[in-house]
Amino acid sequence: MRVAVVGAGPAGLVTLKYLLAAESSLGTEPVEARLFESDSGVGGTFLSRTYEDAELVSSRQLTCFSDFRCRDHEPDFLSAPRYVEYLNEYCTHFNLWPYMIFNCRVEKIESRQGGGHIVAYALQGQRHIWKCDAVAICSGLHVEPNMPDIKGIERVSKVFHSSQLKRRDQFGVGKTVLVLGSGETGADISFLAITSPTKRVVLCHRDGFHLAPKRNPNPRLILSRQRTVLDRPQVPIDVSRASLFDTAYVHPWLRNSGVLWTYYDCYVRWILWVSWGTIHGLDQWIGGKPRGWSTCEIFFNKSGYKLSPYLDATWKPKIPQGLLRRIRSWFVQTPDQEDTKGRQVEIAPWPEYIDENGSVVFKNNGRPEYARMKGQIIKADVVVFCTGYVHEFPFLRGRKGSIASYNGNMVRGIWQRDDPSIGLIGFVRPNLGAIPPLAEMQAQLWVLHLLAPERVEGRPLLPEDEPHYRLVSKENARIRHGVDHESYTYQLALDMGSAPSFSEIVRLGFDQAKGRGGGDGNYSWKLLLTWALGANFNTKFRLRGPWKWDGAVEVMATELWDTVARREVFFGHFTLSVVPMLIFGPMSLVVFLYASLCRLLQEAGPNP
């Protein structure tokens, strides 16, 4: 079979790797794969659309692919250049280079009579075609900047998209900078601007934002005997959840009920309030999400740890307001924020228009920041659109040229039910996680169903198994493909039959303890605890199934066990592991018994 891969970002590379591995892992015929990349190297967004001091907001423990890990001594969060280096190392390790063509642009992909596709591409000024049976469209090609219309924006002397920003000196000296967009890129750009010799920085949002820490919060309780200085940094927040009874062994009735979301709503608000005295975000007192927000509808902004100290301090109370906050401040020691030397980022609503004098007129969103900003004269010298990208596929003809056309007709958000020969890999956005590991799971499922559907050990790919991992999106939302990272990963593992059972984990640990599988005796209990208490690392789902990998046990019992062991006792293991297990474990058992009884009664009933 011939398969074309479009794009050499993380999604394209991992898809190419699994296509080439199908012969040895799935027992298929050799796959002839070819990857097309318009840039001169691998990395996609991380190569061509990053800026000075760019750093991944997802941890290396989660972001690295399951069978090629980062070095143990590296920091939890890699810089963008280091991650590109890692991707190059990944290509070398799995010998992907011979299958890639760089500096070529895919111009057209057409279906051909009798099945398959024709890929037309330009290389060195000449047009070529390549006939194939399937195509994987991955992040990284034909992704255009999203630039919303703002009347009068032409009156600003310098306007550009965040993809064009590379260095701090692009802001100039003594300039007023208007940052449009409050996502992670908007937070990063605001931080770059306020740490440059600018005059004023204003961050504009549409409907609020939620600043989240990159590491699990660990407030210091005065009455406790916690160490005042941690031996190691607190665990990254994207690997702080335990999977047992959270995603693993949750009865579908409970899974679909929304009870889990309700618990995490309460937990997020509680840990924020205990840590900082506010529920809006990381020491965030302005610009929060509207009243009634839920974790099932927001994207956590993990770049907030850098921006938070610079948010307009005017909104933060000098002394705790109210009896409860005063009591909290007596018992909780909140770490001091970084000294910003008086520099601050102001928060404002979205601009309505730029008037004839060049002043910004903001929309009335009914919030306190509007009341403060409406009487001020703000003349922006620089406007940076941090408004994301429009995913369009001009090389696909007709309705398939827009990603929006695929909504509602996708299998797990990867391929259309009526056309499995075209896979979309990497086009999901997690609320608290990373796209590369999700792309790896997507690639595994797509390649498996494309090349060896008879090897699928999981359940049928039923549409009713999809809503529980999808984030709720409003009608006017630009991003409508949000997912809960943990739930989506586990669902794909179930679909492939790659999610190990409790008995399999015990048996595998027992074998390790007896020395059959290599390693020392500690591997047995470390493996079990990492499986139960760890997040849904992709390596968990390489212990069994069609993509089983012999090195998975060692990674889980060493690197990933170390990540689990780093959690603090109370604000880590107890609140994020023990409490959910004590709540949802018995609930799942009760629901399971009730559902089983209902089924028995139905089967014992009179035949029609």
Whether 15 and 8 have beta carbons less than 8 Å apart is answered as no
Say whether pLDDT at 377 is over 50.
Answer: yes
The predicted pLDDT at position 251 comes to: 85
Tokens 């889980």 identify what position? 556
pLDDT at 522: 75
Distance CA 33, CA 330 (A): 63
Say which residue, 258 or 520, is predicted with more confidence.
258
Q: Quote the pLDDT of residue 230.
A: 46
* Residue predicted with more confidence, 588 or 415: 415
Q: Please give the average per-residue pLDDT across 472-493, as a whole number.
A: 86
Q: Per-residue pLDDT tens for 25-82? A: 999 999 999 999 999 999 988 988 888 889 999 999 999 999 999 998 899 999 999 9
Q: Count the helix, strand and coil residues of the chain and give each as a percent rounded to the nearest 5.
A: 40, 20, 45
379 φ/ψ angles, rounded to the nearest 5 degrees = -110, 105
Instruction: Characterize the bridge pairing of strands 32-36 and 100-101.
Output: parallel
The Cα 318–Cα 308 span in angstroms is: 16
Tell me: pLDDT of 392 over 90: no
Burial label for 567, CB within 10 Å (0-12, 13-18, 19+), is: buried
Has residue 400 got a pLDDT over 70?
Answer: no
pLDDT in tens, 272-306: 998 899 999 999 999 999 888 999 999 999 998 88
pLDDT for residue 143: 62
pLDDT at 521: 58
Q: Please give the C-alpha separations between residue 236 and each of 75, 214, 217, 218, in angstroms, as whole numbers.
A: 11, 6, 9, 11
Radius of gyration of the chain (CA): 25
pLDDT of residue 484 exceeding 80: yes
Task: Give the CA diameter of the chain.
Answer: 83
Residues in the chain: 608
Output the pLDDT for position 596.
84
Question: Assign residue 294 a region: left if phi > 0, alpha if psi is -120 to 50, beta otherwise?
Answer: beta
Residue 399's pLDDT band (cuts 50, 70, 90): very low
Alpha-carbon span 78 to 293, nearest angstrom: 31
Q: Which residue has the higher pLDDT, 242 or 457?
A: 242
Average pLDDT over residues 190-216: 94
Matching residue, tokens 């699990």? 216
Nearest-angstrom CA–CA distance, 247 and 153: 47
User: pTM value?
Assistant: 0.93
* pLDDT value of residue 513: 64
414-422, long-range: CB within 8 Å, 24+ apart, which pairs? 414/442, 414/445, 414/446, 415/446, 415/449, 420/134, 420/446, 420/449, 420/450, 421/115, 421/116, 421/117, 421/133, 421/134, 421/135, 421/450, 422/117, 422/134, 422/135, 422/136, 422/137
Question: Of the candidates 410, 411, 415, 431, which has an alpha carbon nearest to the alpha carbon of residue 479?
Answer: 431
State the pLDDT at residue 515: 64
Structure tokens at 279: 């529920």
pLDDT digits (tens, 9 = 90+) for 556-591: 999 999 999 888 887 778 887 888 888 888 888 888
Give the pLDDT confidence of 422-458 residue by residue, as tens digits. 999 998 999 989 999 999 999 999 999 999 988 887 7
Q: Which domains does the chain have, with CATH numbers?
A: 2-142+390-496 (3.50.50.60), 147-211+282-387 (3.50.50.60), 502-565 (no CATH)
Q: How many whole angstroms separate alpha carbon 422 and alpha carbon 398? A: 15
DSSP 8-class letter at 16: H
